[in-house]
Structure formats: structure tokens, C-alpha cells
């Protein structure tokens, strides 16, 4: 297995989500790879401190842009009717799918804010994303 493939298994290994054969192969790789060992330590520390992984941890995840269908930067605020909407950095929602190997989809959620009332508007996730995180 190529080194990048082991690197992509790090999150699943840290979450004890690999089957026994995958975990054994990953552990054999760790024995000779200081870089992956350090990455695993960093990932475990992140999980311990935050209780979860950041979206950036899912390096192999498919990315899907979620855009507002009815709102856009420059539109009037639908709540207060006074301010104008402007863009914020996108938010993230990660959904893990179980297969022989884990896969993840990272949804980049468009966010807008009203310049007058401060109301935030996040684009909806597609139905196939489901509600489970």
C-alpha cells in the first residue's frame, strides 16, 4: 500500500474504525514511519482536546459545495429588510460512510450575514447528507 493510503487511514485508526486486518497493516507501517506516528499522535491529541476531528483531518474526503438557492451576497436581509447580506467563510459538515474502508464527504456550507441585524444564513445540506454527524 502506498504511503498516502496509510496517511488517509490515520483518522479511522485513531477512532478505532478499521477492521483487524487494516489495523494490523497500519500498525506495521507505523513501526517504520516516524511521520505517520507523529501525525497519529497529533490526531489523537486533537480528538482528546476537542472530542472530534476538524474537517481538515479528512484529507481524502470528497468535497461538495452547498450554496444558497434563494440568497446571495448583496441581497436584502430577509429577516430585518434593512441590511445587505455579505459572505462569511464557509462552514463545514463531515459525514462518514462505512465501507470496506471508511470514506467521508466534506460539505462546504455557504454562510451569509446581514450587515444590519447580524442574522446568519447557512445554506442547507443536500438530503443525502442526512442529519447524523
Domains of the chain in sequence order: 3-53 (1.10.10), 58-126 (no CATH)
Residue-wise pLDDT tens digits, 54-106 = 777 777 788 889 999 999 999 999 999 999 999 988 888 877 665 556 677 88
pLDDT of residue 79: 92
| Helix, strand, coil percent content, the chain, rounded in steps of 5 | 35, 25, 40
pLDDT of residue 77: 94
pLDDT of residue 98: 58
Q: Which residues pair with 91 in a beta bridge?
A: 109
pLDDT of residue 74: 95
Angle (CA) 39-94-37 rounded to 5° is: 10
| Mean pLDDT taken over the chain | 83
What 3-state class would DSSP assign to 123? coil
pLDDT of residue 61: 80
- What is the value of pTM for the model shown? 0.42
pLDDT of residue 17: 78
- For 19, residues 6+ apart whose C-beta sits below 8 A from its C-beta are none
The closest alpha carbon to 55, from 94, 89, 88, 90, belongs to: 94
The closest alpha carbon to 14, from 131, 94, 38, belongs to: 38
DSSP letters spanning 12-68: HHHTT-S-HHHHHHHHHHHHT-HHHHHHHHHHHHHHHHHSS--GGG-TT-EEEEE--
Q: How confident is the model at residue 133 (pLDDT cuts 50, 70, 90)?
A: low
Q: H or E element: which one contains 120? A: strand 120-122
Residue-wise pLDDT tens digits, 3-57 = 777 777 888 888 777 788 888 888 898 898 888 888 888 888 877 776 666 777 7
pLDDT of residue 18: 78
Amino acid at each position: 500500500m502506498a504511503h498516502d493510503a496509510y496517511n488517509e487511514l490515520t483518522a479511522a485508526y485513531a477512532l478505532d474504525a478499521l477492521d483487524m486486518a487494516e489495523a494490523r497493516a497500519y500498525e506495521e507501517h507505523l513501526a517504520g514511519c516516524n511521520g505517520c506516528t507523529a501525525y497519529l499522535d497529533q490526531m489523537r491529541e486533537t480528538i482528546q482536546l476537542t472530542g472530534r476531528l476538524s474537517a481538515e483531518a479528512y484529507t481524502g474526503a470528497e468535497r461538495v459545495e452547498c450554496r444558497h438557492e434563494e440568497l446571495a451576497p448583496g441581497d436584502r436581509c430577509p429577516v430585518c429588510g434593512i441590511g445587505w447580506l455579505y459572505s462569511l467563510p464557509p462552514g463545514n459538515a463531515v459525514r462518514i460512510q462505512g465501507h470496506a474502508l471508511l470514506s467521508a464527504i466534506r460539505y462546504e456550507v455557504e454562510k451569509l450575514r446581514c450587515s444590519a441585524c447580524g442574522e446568519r444564513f447557512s445554506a442547507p445540506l443536500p438530503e443525502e447528507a442526512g442529519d447524523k454527524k
